[in-house]
């Protein structure tokens, strides 16, 4: 727990105090956010606000991960504390950094062209597929070699699983390694685009991501405290345990990312002094996808990230309706812009959507804990 708290604190402080520096640097570089002409007219006043702020909280998360591991060296049981960096960390941080890199290219092109059209949709899609495929393969083909004091291997789990999962793996739904990688690519695409579509109002995506990442920190730490690789816990045969890999690493990274987003939110809330841009949105989406895979809660992501799902579906519904009937269901999509045009203030929309995000997180955590209670001996 100490390492997770250290990581959260370091990430928060780095993000809080480095974001103003990023604001000055990006302002000097004239890296302002272009605003779509077809978007809500009230957004035109945001033109020129520095973008690519996601660089700050991605960097803060990586720094906090290192700080958290330094804290782990003081723990008495290095074997269970997972002092050494793991493949799990490589996958999770790699997804955040490289999905963020795809977004950075998009942001850079927007700033350079002084136009809201950056990387093409095909280019962005190919980038997401490539990142998802590479880290999906790493997650499925590199098992843990964790050993106990006698040298016996106690954990051979991979980061990902060949079966679909809801609150835990569903053995009957084995999709093979290739199928699991394909599904993970889809999850990466869905999560990155979901966060990106939600990032339309000041602080909306940042606050929602804090809740989702916080939920994954809780889930992963609970899995760590009830881990099948922990002999002190599994000594009692009636104890229900989780067959995951490196849960403390997952909790540490999720907590660090949540803390970094809180620090960034200080400057990103309305009126925003900096935007996360596609750099931050795609980076967060990639990390959230990795969290779902590594905690074996792929389908639970639909509830944990309920706000992202709702906003994404509003776009899908709008497109299908317009192409099939020529009529629009919403005044404008994504959904937050519909309410803007309906006369709601930006702050009201953000707070109410945060409440929706919180409800999704609360339901998901309730289901997760209920499953644990149901499986205890």
Domain residue limits, the chain = 1-376
pLDDT value at 42 more than 70: no
**What pLDDT does residue 110 have?**
87
**Count of CB atoms situated within 10 Å of the CB of 325:** 9
Q: Residue 40 — pLDDT band, cuts 50, 70, 90?
A: low
196 appears as a binding residue in the annotation: yes
φ, ψ for residue 7, nearest 5 deg: -60, -45
107 appears as a binding residue in the annotation: no
Q: Residue 87 — pLDDT band, cuts 50, 70, 90?
A: very high
**What pLDDT does residue 1 have?**
82
**What pLDDT does residue 277 have?**
93
Task: Tell me the pLDDT tens digit for each residue of 166-198.
Answer: 999 999 999 999 999 999 999 999 999 999 999
pTM: 0.94
Average pLDDT, the chain: 91
Of 182, 300, 217, 234, the residue nearest 3 (C-alpha): 217
77 vs 330: which has the higher pLDDT: 330
Cβ pair 314, 333 in contact under 8 A:
yes
> Long-range contacts made by residues 355-358, C-beta under 8 angstroms, separation at least 24?
356/306, 356/307, 356/310, 357/207, 357/208, 357/211, 357/212, 357/306, 357/307, 358/211
Tokens of 113: 């062209």
Task: Tell me the pLDDT tens digit for each residue of 106-145.
Answer: 999 988 877 667 788 899 999 999 999 999 999 999 998 7
Range 238-267 average pLDDT: 96
What's the rounded Cα separation, in Å, for the pair 112 and 118?
A: 9
pLDDT value at 44 more than 70: no
Tokens of 325: 């009937």
15 burial type by CB count under 10 A (0-12 exposed, 13-18 middle, 19+ buried): buried
User: Please, what is the angle between helix 176-198 and helix 87-113, to 10°?
Assistant: 40
Residues 6+ apart with CB under 8 A from 120: none
Cβ pair 60, 18 in contact under 8 A:
yes
**What pLDDT does residue 29 have?**
87
Task: Tell me the pLDDT tens digit for each residue of 215-238.
Answer: 999 999 999 999 998 888 988 888
């Amino acid at each position: 727990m100490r390492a997770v708290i250290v990581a959260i604190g370091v990430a928060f402080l780095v993000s809080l105090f480095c974001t103003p520096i990023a604001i000055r640097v990006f302002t000097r570089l004239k890296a302002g956010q272009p605003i779509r002409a077809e978007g809500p007219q009230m957004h035109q006043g945001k033109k020129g606000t520095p973008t690519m702020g996601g660089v700050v909280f991605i960097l803060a998360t990586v720094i906090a991960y290192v700080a958290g591991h330094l804290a782990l060296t003081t723990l008495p049981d290095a074997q269970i504390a997972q002092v050494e960096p793991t493949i799990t960390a490589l996958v999770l941080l790699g997804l955040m950094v490289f999905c963020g890199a795809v977004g950075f290219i998009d942001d850079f092109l927007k700033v350079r062209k002084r136009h809201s059209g950056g990387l093409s949709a095909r280019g962005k899609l190919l980038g997401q597929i490539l990142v998802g495929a590479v880290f999906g393969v790493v997650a499925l083909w590199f098992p843990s070699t964790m050993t106990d004091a006698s040298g016996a291997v106690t954990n051979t789990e991979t980061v990902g699983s060949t079966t679909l999962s809801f609150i835990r793996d569903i053995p009957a739904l084995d999709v093979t390694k290739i199928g699991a990688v394909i599904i993970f690519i889809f999850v990466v695409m869905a999560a990155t685009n979901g966060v990106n579509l939600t990032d339309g109002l000041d602080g909306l995506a940042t606050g929602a991501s804090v809740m989702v990442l916080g939920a994954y920190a809780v889930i992963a730490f609970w899995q760590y405290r009830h881990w099948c690789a922990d002999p002190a816990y599994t000594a009692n045969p009636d104890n229900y345990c989780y067959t995951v890999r490196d849960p403390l690493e997952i909790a540490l990274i999720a907590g660090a990312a949540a803390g970094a987003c809180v620090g960034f939110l200080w400057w990103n809330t309305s009126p925003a002094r900096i935007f996360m841009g596609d750099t931050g949105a795609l980076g967060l989406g990639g990390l959230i996808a990795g969290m779902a895979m590594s905690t074996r809660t792929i389908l639970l992501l639909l509830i944990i990230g309920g706000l992202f799902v709702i906003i994404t579906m509003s776009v899908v519904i709008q497109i299908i309706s317009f192409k099939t009937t020529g009529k629009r269901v919403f005044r404008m999509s994504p959904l937050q812009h519909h309410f803007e045009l309906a006369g709601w203030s930006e702050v009201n929309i953000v707070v109410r959507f945060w409440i929706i995000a919180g409800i999704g997180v609360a339901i998901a955590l309730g289901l997760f804990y209920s499953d644990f209670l149901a499986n205890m001996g």
